Structure 1
Amino acid sequence: MSGVPQWPELAWSDWAATADTLHMWTQIVGKTRLALTPLQNHWWNVPLYVTARGLGTSAMDYEDDVLDIEFDFLVHELHLRMGSGATQTMKLKPRSVADFYAEYLGCLKELGVSVTINPTPCEMAKPIRFDQDTEHASYDPEYVHRFWQVLTHAEKVFRAWETGFLGKVSPIHFFWGSFDLAVTRFSGRRAPPRPGADMIQREAYSHEVISAGFWPGTGGYGAAAFYCYAAPVPDGLADAKIRPDGAGWDKALGEFVFKYDAVRSLGSPEKAVMEFLESSYGAAADVARWDRAALERR
């Protein structure tokens, strides 16, 4: 682990440019997964997954073969692998999104994979087409490695938290649109139509959910944090008190937030994150009147 502590420092200001570039690269790979997989409920077919070395797609069917793609944040390479044995490798290094995109499409062509990718990024305020993006061109391997470490430790806590729920629950997955690691619990009830929802939101929030996750500060927030929200937001949720100290309601975001720096400052970050998950979920489930006796392992 190169001497980096288990819950390493991850100040947004130190790696914002790298994170923004990596965000676009993960969107390029994620859109490949979107193109090659059939729709699953709540878009569960499109995320990436934390691997032993970085982030990956898992196996995707392609004609009579399978393809998987993995960001390796230990040696800083992108691996494209076919089940038949053919491989392509790209170096992860400071380079523009446009340059990355061009080489990536070339690697797919060398593997005999033909995929149509929408070149416009998703969920961005001011998207720049991948093939025209020379603005994002940073890559700091140390901070990318730290980011992956945080994801691995966060996933471990999320997985332990998942075991206490008997209802429908999502995989723990990395959404490349919003650039966050998330896990979602469902009440089993359909949700009312979401005002102004687009196609993505209609599918994602078709049922009542309480979702938790970790994101590094993208989208203008500017700080790494754990979060928990309910959709739809039940009346009175903003007034709920949660644990531990340092965690609470963020009025601007409309959800509970526990900043990563506060987590790191505690004696046991794992216990603190688990307490945050249990407390914020419990507050949301109670206010929303979920049937907790039926949904939870007692």
Structure 2
Amino acid sequence: MDYAEAADARNGWPRLRVADWAETRDTVHMWTQIVGKIRMAHAPMLNHWWHVTLYVTPRGLATSRIPYGHGAFDIEFDFCDHRLHIRSSDGTAESVVLEAKSVAEFHAEVFQALRRLGINTSIRAIPNEVDPAIPFAADDRHASYDAQAVRLFWHQLVQTDRVLNEFRSYFSGKASPVHFFWGSIDLAYTRFSGRATSTQPGGAPNCPDWVMAEAYSHETSSCGFWPGGGEEGASYAYSFPEPAGYSEYVTEADGTVYSKADKLYLLPYENVRTAPDPDGTLSRFLHSTYEAAAETGRWDRAGLEIDPDRWRQHRHHRQPPGQARGAASP
């Protein structure tokens, strides 16, 4: 792989072929499951499993604050310095080096670091949504770490997270954060119509159906980025339950296709990266697939959507002393 070419990709959207880092991706996937399960063990339950996810940061992926006793701790994958940082509200901290090592080694090192901080925890130490599900403590199969590839993947997430959050600003109804689900290793954002569903999907490998029942208890329009399905990964969008006419609603502009097997729309990442306007290309995909769900599903669009620029009519035209020209004023 030509990493120099990938690192110098225009507009900040890096090139990263899935085939060039598949072994590293699968190893890091298991590492994120371990960290995500630690958050799940201590965080209070939130609807649709929002309490288990990770978030894109300026340096990698992190849990955000995890409550523990009368304090808190957090865990962050630093993909710049390639260390896992564990920080406690009592001022102490530990770290684990991110390098080529097995999942079993990583699992042991993380729990040793937690114990040194006085954090006692236990998790169901078997991965979800993969087959086979090798217990973390016995997983010597996944042991790859290509630091440059991981950093490029993080940059893919940074770019996608930025556009997803801009898209999120158009919706005033119930919606998820933009967050990273470690079960399926995807960055996701979900909007809700406000109506409950009568059926839920099932069949995810090594994942109980009641988990999916909680995730899909209400009608959704969901989208995100997955580092698979396509030469460089793909953005996806789906509606659950899928309304009649949804699959035919969006045209094939920009390379968008509908997968009947997976029941979702896909836009190859390379189509976004190589477009004259990558942000605009991804935004069109997000808006058009949401419109497909909202129109065919008969959502209350007038009550759920909002103008993200509505505040501009109230901003002062005169800048306060010392404020940079062009900066927003409340």
**Normalised by the size of structure 2, how large is the TM-score?**
0.87
| 1:105, distance to aligned residue in structure 2 (A) | 0.9
Which whole-Å CA distance do the structure 2 matches of 1:199 and 1:178 have between them?
16
Tell me, in whole angstroms, the C-alpha distance in 2 between the residues paired with 1:127 and 1:269: 36
Query: 3-state DSSP class of the match of 2:222?
Result: strand
| 1:154 equivalent in alignment to 2:163 | no
Give SS of 1:166's match: coil
Q: Which amino acid aligns with 1:272?
A: T
> In the TM superposition, what is the alpha-carbon distance from 1:289 to its structure 2 partner?
1.0
Aligned to 1:254: 263
CA contact (8 A) 1:79 1:88 kept: yes
Moved more, 254-263 or 188-197: 188-197
Cα deviation, residue 126, structure 1:
1.1
Equivalence for 1:190 = 196
C-alpha contact (below 8 Å) 2:225/2:233 kept by paired residues:
yes
1:102-113 → structure 2 map (5 Å cutoff)? 102-113=108-119
Change (3 A) 1:135 1:222: farther
1:293 aligns with 2:302: yes
Aligned residue for 2:162, secondary structure, equals: helix
| 1:108-119 alignment, distance < 5 Å | 108-119=114-125
**1:21·1:138 contact (CA, 8 Å) conserved in 2?**
yes
Aligned length: 296
Tell me the CA shift for residue 223 of structure 1: 4.6
1:42 maps to: 48
CA deviations on 1:131-166 (whole Å, 9 max, x unpaired) are 000000000011100011111111110111011111
**2:326 aligned residue:** none
Q: Write the letter of the residue equivalent to 1:83.
A: S
Preserved contact between residue 12 and residue 224 of structure 1 (Cα < 8 Å) = yes
Q: Distance in 2 between matches of 1:229 and 1:122?
A: 21
Pick aligned residue for 1:212 from 202, 219, 223: 223
Q: Which amino acid aligns with 2:273?
A: R
Contact 2:231 2:268 in 1 (8 A): no
Is 1:225 the counterpart of 2:234? The answer is yes
**Deviations, residues 95-124 of structure 1 (Å, cap 9, x unaligned):** 000011111110011011111111110111
Contact 1:242 1:283 in 2 (8 A): no
Contact 1:244 1:272 in 2 (8 A): no
Q: TM-score, normalised by structure 1?
A: 0.96
Matches of 1:133 and 1:195 in 2, distance apart? 29
Decide whether the 8 Å contact of 1:17 with 1:136 is kept in 2.
yes
Task: Tell me the equivalent position of 2:277.
Answer: 268
The one-letter amino acid paired with 2:221 is I
SS of equivalent to 1:135: coil
Instruction: Say whether residues 1:163 and 2:172 are aligned partners.
Output: no
By how many angstroms is 1:260 displaced?
Answer: 0.4
Alpha carbons of 1:145 and 1:4: their partners in 2 closer, same or farther (altered >3 Å)?
Answer: farther
Question: Helix, strand or coil: the match of 1:9?
Answer: coil
Query: Cα deviation per residue 1:154-188 (whole Å; 9 max; x = unaligned)?
Result: 11101110111111111110001110100100000
What 5-or-longer segments of structure 1 have no aligned partner? none
1:67-114 Cα distance to aligned partner (Å, 9 max, x none): 100000001000000011111111100000001111111001101111
Gapped regions of structure 2 (runs ≥ 5): 204-208, 308-330
- Aligned-partner Cα distance in 2 for 1:258–1:286: 21
Please give the per-residue CA displacement for 1:36-77, whole angstroms capped at 9, x wherever unaligned. 111101111000001110000011111122110000000100
Post-superposition shift, 1:221? 6.7
Q: How far has the Cα of 1:244 moved from its partner?
A: 3.0
Structure 1 vs Structure 2 CA RMSD: 1.6
One-letter code aligned to 1:180: D
Instruction: Report how far residue 193 of structure 1 moved.
Output: 2.3
Identity rate of aligned residues, in percent? 46
- 1:195 shift after superposition: 5.4
Contact 1:242 1:276 in 2 (8 A): no
Larger Rg computed on CA atoms:
2
Deviations 1:4-56 (Å, cap 9, x if unpaired)? 43111111000000000000000000000000111101111000001110000
Task: Give the C-alpha shift of residue 295 in structure 1.
Answer: 1.1
In structure 1, distance between residues paired with 2:251 and 2:87: 45
SS at match of 1:184: strand
CA distance in 1 between counterparts of 2:224 and 2:267 reads 10
